[in-house]
Amino acid sequence: MPHTPSVPEQNRYPGPGAPPLAVWPCAQTPLVAQRRQRCLTPPVAPAALAMLPELAERLIAEFSEPGQVVADVMCGSGTVTLAAVRAQRRVVALDGEPECLAQTAMHLSYAEEPANRRVLELVQGDARLAASLFTGHRLDLAVVDPPAPGAAVVPGDYPDSNLAGLAGADYTRALTDALAAVAVRMRPGGRLVLLAPALAAGGGVGVEHLVRSGTDAGLDYLQHIIALSGPLVGDTLTPGPAHPAGSAPTAATGRHRPVHRHLLAFVTPAPAAAEGGARR
């Protein structure tokens, strides 16, 4: 049964009266330089774009406190995981592809002691099963960075568990299921930040559909953030590199020259507010 949000209808979706909009400049230093400074290699997942480390660090600082538990869901190369442990958060990371978890573990090996001891668990599995995969963890913040939909070729041994192989309503339904599963393990008042997937060859996923996925998963819409992925020169926003990971065009990048990413922040309602029918 769909969740009944505890905030008014006019505050749930973008438009007049919507939650506040924030703009984060995250790319005054080029992406490649940011990742090199932190010993981060390009993602091994072909459907993923390399995340700006400054974006990951700001997410952790804005939405969590030292000592809290952060979930890096669909962790990819582990940019969020590394930022979180270096900021004294405890982390559980989840991805369906063993190659991504291996890359995350490699990046953690570069972290200063005792940062890498703050990793509680690296979990391989489908994010739609997060409620069982995260058993024993109570999450204060979850960062969800799904792949772009509609990939022509889905890598790995378990293609059915990879959202990259889905498109349209199938993709948004699977994403809703994943968010709902993560929400089960979150503390009341915990934050979940969903990064809008990159544009795919067949088009992206509209912000309104992503907001609907979050609210249908039992979360309340809190904030819309635009993270700039190109530098500001004076008052002008310049495009980032055509292929930030330094690779050839993929379904996730095409010929698109990105200048920003949408981030949608949600909050887990208090138990009394959740009685309206949150999905379990």
Tell me: the pLDDT tens digits for 91-124?
999 999 999 999 999 999 988 877 878 999 999 9
Residue 40, domain member (yes or no): yes
Amino acid at 93: A
Residue 14, domain member (yes or no): no
pLDDT of 256 reads 54
Say which CATH number the domain at 211 has.
3.40.50.150
pLDDT of 116 reads 76
Q: How many domains does the chain have?
A: 1
pTM: 0.84
pLDDT of 24 reads 96
pLDDT of 199 reads 56
CA contacts within 13 A on the Cβ side of 227: 25
Q: Distance between CA atoms of 231 and 219, rounded to whole angstroms?
A: 32
Residue 125, domain member (yes or no): yes
The string of DSSP letters for 151-198 reads -SS--SS-GGG-GGG--HHHHHHHHHHHHHHHHHTEEEEEEEEEEPPP
Residue 15, domain member (yes or no): no
Residue 188, domain member (yes or no): yes
Amino acid at 225: I
Residue 280, domain member (yes or no): no
Counting as low any pLDDT under 50, the low residues of the chain are: 1-14, 200-202, 242-254, 278-280
177-180 own/partner pairs: CB under 8 Å, 24+ apart: 177/128, 177/217, 178/73, 178/126, 178/127, 178/128, 178/130, 178/144, 178/146, 179/144, 179/213, 179/214, 179/217, 179/219, 180/216, 180/217, 180/218, 180/278, 180/279, 180/280
Q: Which residue range(s) make up the domain with 176?
A: 20-274
pLDDT of 164 reads 83
Residue 7, domain member (yes or no): no
Residue 71, domain member (yes or no): yes
